[in-house]
Amino acid sequence: MNGKRAVIIGGSVGGLFAGNFLIKHGWTVDIVEQAQANLASRGTGIARHDELEAIFKELGIPPDDTVGVDVNGRTAFDRTGAIISHFDLTQRLGAWNRVFQPLYDAFPKARYHNGARMEHLETNGDISTITTTDGRKFEADVVIGADGFRSSVRKIVAPEIDPSYSGYVAWRGVSQEANLSEEFRANVFHHYAFLFMRSSLLIGYPMAGEDGSIEPGGRRYNYLWYYPAPGQQLTDILTDTGGKVHDYGIPPPLMQPEHVEAVRANAKRDMPASFHDAINMADTTIVQPIYDVLSQRITFGNVALIGDAAFVARPHVGVGVLKAGQDAVALTKALAECETVPAAMARYENERLLAGQRSVWHGRDLGSFIERGLDRPEDDPNYNLPPERAIKISGRPVEHMFEQGL
Ligand SMILES: Cc1cc2nc3c(=O)[nH]c(=O)nc-3n(C[C@H](O)[C@H](O)[C@H](O)COP(=O)(O)OP(=O)(O)OC[C@H]3O[C@@H](n4cnc5c(N)ncnc54)[C@H](O)[C@@H]3O)c2cc1C
């Protein structure tokens, strides 16, 4: 199918993985991205996996040992701050911009259309026409919806699939290493830490500095704290200082200060003092409501969904970026190797539908004790989640669990 045209909606990591691979396979590709600004500035930490490095290698993006801070495993702490378990697993903890930027640099800029929001998608099964809010029109043999968890493409092709709220949020923040206390740096900073508390869980780890530094003193600390926020509480958190409710997520500067103060007060009450810096020294406090997106199909004629548009597993699984890459590899290989678009779509769905569903189910299991308000993850014996097992099976591709009998 060399020479065919694809339009990709969404120019984040999933869209760029797919776009770069399709260009390698001889396709003509346009990426339509609604954001005006470069997406590299999203400041979050990304735990990297060997499979992600392999995808970069396949794209011809050279390995780079400076993309993250290496840790030697995960450490579980109980609510008093005592270490209760450790699991050896070398991992590199990187940052969003070190994933996004090389993918963006590799893609031809003339075909990356910033500030273009897809508004209409019409398809006759063979050719699709996309119209953007700024009046641009694109025709394509294949449309790839890589437009994230609130996907506009999914709303058109599968309006019945809606994100479902888990009942809890992740409070997140990043601190500069230099601002953290001696005690925190000595006892907590270097761990990939899982702090188990009543119906809540904090994950924290070191990451590279804003300038990419992985040297002591120039790094940062990233935390996310899963915390219950049932219905009305979530609405309150998402209501800005002017009374407007921001469905799905509120920009940090608009959040009512009392919610940030409540996070600090809860930390003081629920967390051992050794962890307080993670919350109190963070530059900003971000809230991420935790949703599941569980699709029953990911291809619709000549339209395919990848990444978060197809499935969103809770961050306990920690492989959103990798999954976007794996979806992109599977789809673009199928388009390169099959003789027709329908054959490629069938192969892609066959390869990635169950994998996506499994990661959503896995995330639900890992977060079940928070969702259900249980004191500890091991309190429901059906899930078999004592902390020593939880730290082994969190933050990893689901396939690892099957391969390694975890
Ligand atoms: C705070 C936070 C922290 C995270 N931490 C991690 C982590 O540590 N590890 C990990 O693996 N994953 C993490 N994730 C998840 C990860 O970021 C996502 O899984 C990943 O970005 C999915 O990539 P994507 O390309 O499918 O979607 P997205 O990155 O969501 O990108 C979708 C893109 O589509 C664009 N778009 C949407 N609608 C339209 C439209 N109509 N027209 C044009 N463009 C449109 C958006 O502007 C956006 O750029 C985190 C997510 C968040 C929010």
Give tens-digit pLDDT for 127-171: 999 999 999 999 999 999 999 999 999 999 999 999 999 999 999
pLDDT class for 211, splitting at 50, 70, 90?
confident
Per CATH, domain 72-91+164-291 is 3.30.9.60: yes
Is any atom of ligand 1 closer than 6 Å to the C-beta of 152? yes
Is any atom of ligand 1 closer than 6 Å to the C-beta of 209? no
Is any atom of ligand 1 closer than 6 Å to the C-beta of 207? no
What pLDDT sits at residue 360?
A: 96
Fold that domain 5-44+98-163+293-364+398-403 belongs to in CATH: FAD/NAD(P)-binding domain (3.50.50)
pLDDT class for 397, splitting at 50, 70, 90?
confident
Going by their DSSP bridges, the two strands 192-197 and 164-176 should be labelled as unpaired
Which residue, judged by its Cα, is nearest atom 6 of ligand 1? 46
The answer to whether the Cα torsion of 196, 200, 207, 355 is positive or negative is positive
Q: How far is the CA of 228 from the centre of ligand 1 (A)?
A: 23
In three-state secondary structure terms, 272 is coil
Which residue, judged by its Cα, is nearest atom 18 of ligand 1? 320
- pTM of the model as a whole: 0.94
List pLDDT tens digits, range 229-287. Answer: 998 999 999 999 999 999 889 999 999 999 999 999 999 999 999 999 999 999 999 99
What does the mean pLDDT of the chain come to? 94
Going by their DSSP bridges, the two strands 128-132 and 137-140 should be labelled as antiparallel
What is the atom index within ligand 1 of the atom nearest the CA of 14? 25
- Taking the domains of the chain in order of start, what are their residue ranges? 5-44+98-163+293-364+398-403, 72-91+164-291
Judge whether 367 and 166 are in contact, CB under 8 Å. Answer: yes
List pLDDT tens digits, range 84-126. Answer: 999 999 999 988 888 999 999 999 999 999 999 999 999 888 8
What is the atom index within ligand 1 of the atom nearest the CA of 310? 26
pLDDT class for 213, splitting at 50, 70, 90?
confident
Q: Can you tell me the mean pLDDT for 176-188?
A: 97
Is any atom of ligand 1 closer than 6 Å to the C-beta of 319? yes
Residue 205: closest CA among 216, 194, 217:
194
Q: How far is the CA of 292 from the centre of ligand 1 (A)?
A: 14
